[in-house]
Amino acid sequence: MSIDLSRYRKRLLIGPWRLEGSTADHLDGAVVIPACGESDHLPATLAGLAANPEKELRDWLVVVVVNQPPSADERLKEDNLATLDWLHRNQKMLPHLAWVDATDEGTLFPARDAGVGLARKTGFDLALERLRGPAAILVSLDADTLVEDTYLPALRRHFATHAAGGATLPFRHQPAAGEAEQRAIDLYELYLRHYVLGLRLAGSSYAYHSIGSAFACRADAYIAAGGMNRRKAGEDFYFLQQLAKTSGVRPLGGTCVHPSSRTSQRVPFGTGEKVARLARGEPALLFPAPAAFRQLRLLLDFEPTAATPPAAVLDALTAGAPEAAEFLRREGWTDVWPRLCRQHRRPERLRKAFHDWFDALKTWRLIRLLSASHPVADPEAAVRDLLAAAGLDGDGDTATLLEKLRRLENDGEKETPPDRKYAMLAPSPPASWK
């Protein structure tokens, strides 16, 4: 059964770009890899994919989108030409290896949109017509990220047994080149896992990692979400937020991806930029205190009905979560709530509408606000306090705490039954948060 693109035609990428290399179609999935100046790293990424079982590889298309901005310097242009030459010479490395050449005058991305978001969208949109049907899988990977030989089987197994249209994959950054860089990547990864644990304890619908090299979705979920956006940075965050609203996002288990720990200034924010700042000793992260996630929990636990005046919601929250109440007020709650009530009469639809409105971006903005007003001087202390609030052991230095959070997430991904919504690692919120 082919994919019905009628609902997606207006969003489908139109341009000079085409798939070169493999002409195979009716495949079960596609792995899309943007590549911009990655000739030194891409071969190892593709070698990791090639180590997957041959019977799996026969059903998957791998698409490398070689791209550069119109302002690219000569060194970047030469690197991309080397990548394209390597792909031509090593096409048989995988059963179905294809690529997009967006490097010459007629195929360069427009300056306004040139970046990783458009590169991912180009690969995904071109792959759609090569896939078997709506249950086929689209996977996002990066050209400097390593995968394990369990990668493709884990993706297939997950989507065969879970209803959610989107998935995030376990990750662990590669070792860094030096001591300062290793400390920086450990601290950054600790921050990411600390934030997601806090969201899970708060019962957020958006408690997942937004990492461009570690997410996937079914083709029908991709279309329902409106496809990939064209953002130059944060494209993963906004796409996953839309997936969470339209089809759901669930962590996947059984494999692990290994993003690069190198520093980078290619995008205005993200892993590379944060690691570069941390390695220089700059304060680049705000670790939220448990009190921030407690306020979020109180906000998300409050279930007003259509008969509840918006002011009553704010009054009820003010006692335990005054800053969260003020945040709602500034977001126009007194106008938003009556509108949601008019549009959604059934209680379950009204609750979903609230969580769609109070989305991943609003959640992040609230937690950031609370983090600034309740600053944490010692990041490790913040992690220990959050683990303690969850009833877990919080002893150890950065590396030890990071390993504990990795195991905690991986255990949750392995053990959560497929018919249960994956919202929290703890069975219930801490007693002090109720």
As a whole number, the mean pLDDT across the chain is 90
Looking at the structure, tell me whether residues 236 and 159 fall in a common domain: yes
pLDDT one-digit tens code per residue, 111-122 = 999 999 999 999
Out of 334, 350, 375, a domain closes at: 375
Q: pLDDT-based confidence at 107, cuts 50/70/90?
A: very high
If we measure between CA atoms, which residue out of 278, 270, 274, 184 comes closest to residue 235? 270
Query: How much is the pLDDT for 7?
Result: 86
Specify whether 244 is located in the same domain as 295. no
Please enumerate in sequence order all residues whose Cβ is within 8 A of that of 417, keeping only pairs 6 or more positions apart, or say none: none
Whether residue 236 is found in the same domain as residue 349: no
Question: Which of 266, 290, 205 shows the shortest CA–CA distance to 240?
Answer: 205
Boundary residue ending a domain (375, 393, 413): 375
Both 215 and 346 in one domain: the answer is: no
| Cβ neighbours for 239, distance < 8 A, ≥ 6 positions apart | 215, 225, 228, 229
> What CATH number has the domain bearing residue 45?
3.90.550.10
At 202, is the pLDDT very low, low, confident or very high (cuts 50, 70, 90)?
very high
Residues 222 and 90 grouped into a single domain: yes
Assess whether 25 and 139 both reside in one domain. Answer: yes
The vertex-101 CA angle with 88 and 58, nearest 5°, equals 55
The confidence score (pLDDT) of residue 276 equals 64
| 249 and 305 fall within a common domain | no
145/240 same-domain check? yes
Q: How far is it, in rounded angstroms, from Cα 103 to Cα 58?
A: 29
| 124 and 245 belong to one structural domain | yes
225 and 129 fall within a common domain: yes
Query: What is the reported pTM?
Result: 0.92
Tell whether the model's pLDDT for residue 268 goes beyond 90.
no
Count how many domains the chain has. 2
Give the CA count within 13 Å in the CB-facing half-sphere of 402: 18
375, 398, 414: which is the final residue of a domain? 375
Rg (CA), the chain: 22
Residue 389 neighbours by CB under 8 Å, 6+ apart: 201, 290, 294, 430, 432, 433
Expressed as residue numbers, the domain containing 323 is: 290-375
Assess if residue 313 is contained within a domain: yes
- Model confidence at 167: pLDDT above 90: yes
Residue 274 clears pLDDT 90, i.e. is over it = no
